[in-house]
Amino acid sequence: MRIVLSFIFIVLLWSTTPLAIKWSAEGSSFIFAVTARMCIGLICIFFMLFAMRQRLLWHSKAKQTYFAVAVQIYGAMMAVYWAAQFIPSGWISVIFGLTPFITAVLSALWLGERSLSWDKLLAYVLGITGLTVMFHSALHISYNTAIGVFSVLFATFLQAFSAVWVKLIHAKLPAITQVTGGMLFAIPFYLATWWLIDGTLPDTLPINTALSILYLGLIATPIGFALYYYILTHLPATRVALITLISPVLALLLGHYLNKEALTLEIAIGSGLILSALIMQSFIGQIRRLKT
């Protein structure tokens, strides 16, 4: 039951996070927005660690896990925040819908999981076709929008890479410990990036920007990351990635109705192909197992 509730909560978080990311950087630089979010999140994570009476471990596998988690916390998030300047918020969630495909390929190559069957290969073709349609739509908008699509795709790869790496290390650390250690490893990189590229504090922040940073720092970062790594610890990496099945639809609708983002036929077709690929990957294997 805990895992089911964690899934539902993460779906809701991942549906609202892209729009919050978009709003958080509108009244400041994207580097300040993501750095402020992570600093707030680290403070919250420490309180959660203390409340749960957990402690950080520093053996070799623990440090490897923290670094693997930091790849996602720093690398993927930085790429997403940069891209959010140029693409609609809903697109972020849709492109992240490709996470199961990348995770499956990496799991097959790295963990030896049997995740590359004919039906899943067909699903990958559908997913890539959908991404191509969305990229074509981005080219109609601007060159920066197209680059933004590639940036989110790179972030998607880093998230899948990080998840599979954590599974490979298999340190058996509590989820809250993984997130805290990963945040500790990532924060110095955030602060250094902000200092070198930006180095300034905004004089004032619009209310939407301030509330978005607080939402991301107080809720999405500590609770979202903790639940994500909680289910990652208990389920196969490919199963965890299926969280992205529902959140893209909700994110597109939220972006359209709350941020007036265009929802053209081409975007709908590209999104539909990616979601169809996700459905195919999720359920054909289960149907085959039931028949046998």
The tens digit of pLDDT for each residue in 72-84 reads 999 999 999 999 9
Query: What is the percent of the chain where pLDDT is above 90?
Result: 37
Instruction: Answer yes or no: is pLDDT of 31 > 90.
Output: yes
Q: What is the mean pLDDT of the chain?
A: 84
The residue ranges of every structural domain in the chain are 2-291
Map residue 248 onto helix, strand or coil: helix
Distance in angstroms (rounded) separating the CA atoms of residues 282 and 176: 28
Is the predicted pLDDT of residue 121 greater than 90, yes or no?
Answer: no
pLDDT at residue 237, as a whole number: 54
Mean pLDDT lowest among 30-44, 109-123, 125-139: 109-123
Q: Quick check: 241 pLDDT over 60?
A: no
CA separation (Å) from 198 to 27, 31, 37, 102?
Answer: 14, 7, 16, 33
What mean pLDDT comes out for the span 266-287? 72
Tell me, what's the pLDDT at 154?
Answer: 96
Question: Looking at residue 100, what is its pLDDT?
Answer: 75
| pLDDT tier for residue 281 given thresholds of 50, 70 and 90 | low
Query: What gap in Å lies between CA 169 and CA 96, rounded to an integer?
Result: 24
Give the whole-angstrom CA distance, residue 169 versus residue 291: 34
Supply the pLDDT for residue 81.
96
Return the higher-pLDDT residue of 262 and 150.
150
Between 219 and 266, residue with greater pLDDT: 219
What pLDDT, on a 0 to 100 scale, did the predictor assign at position 151? 95
Confidence class for position 113, pLDDT limits 50, 70, 90: low
- What's the pLDDT at 244? 63
pLDDT of residue 68 exceeding 80:
yes
Residue 236, token pair as written in the block: 């196969």
Average pLDDT over residues 212-228: 87
- Mean pLDDT for 90-100 is 82
Higher pLDDT, 147 or 110: 147
| 261 vs 14: CA distance, rounded Å | 18
Can you give the pTM of this predicted structure?
0.85
C-alpha distances out from residue 265 to 26, 137, 143, 269, Å: 27, 10, 20, 6
